[in-house]
Amino acid sequence: QQQVKQSPQSLIVQKGGISIINCAYENTAFDYFPWYQQFPGKGPALLIAIRPDVSEKKEGRFTISFNKSAKQFSLHIMDSQPGDSATYFCAASIPGNQFYFGTGTSLTVIP
């Protein structure tokens, strides 16, 4: 059973556009929600993370929106660039640090 559901599986966006990736979860014990970025041939690296006591977190062009009541969170990439082309994973963590990952979104930004 997938603990964290991620969509879409793939996404193509024009340069300068907004990329949006969505995730949903069921377990209300989750208290940490990171997003990881993975380039081909590399391991995933933390991009941005949020805890459920805030509804939004912004770092540069990357924003997490968090809706606790709907048990959903999303990643918004503003002014998307070709260098943002990568696979993105959402995740959720329970106390004790076990992470549950989404299935990933392959983002392609077209110049």
Partner 1 sequence: DVKVTQSSRYLVKRTGEKVFLECVQDMDHENMFWYRQDPGLGLRLIYFSYDVKMKEKGDIPEGYSVSREKKERFSLILESASTNQTSMYLCASSSIRVEQFFGPGTRLTVL
State the nearest-atom distance from the C-beta of 53 to partner 1, in Å. 15
Among positions 15-34, residues that touch partner 1 (CB under 8 A) are 32, 34
Distance, CA of 78 to CA of 1 (rounded, Å): 32
Distance of CA 8 to the CA centre of its chain: 11
Tokens linked to 55: 């509804």
Residues 88 and 64: beta-carbon distance below 8 Å: no
Interface region with partner 1, contact rule CB under 8 A, candidates 56-64, 66-74, 77-85, 99-107: 99-107
Q: Is 49 near partner 1 (CB under 8 A)? A: yes
Q: Is 37 near partner 1 (CB under 8 A)? A: no
Distance of CA 26 to the CA centre of its chain: 16
State the nearest-atom distance from the C-beta of 102 to partner 1, in Å. 6
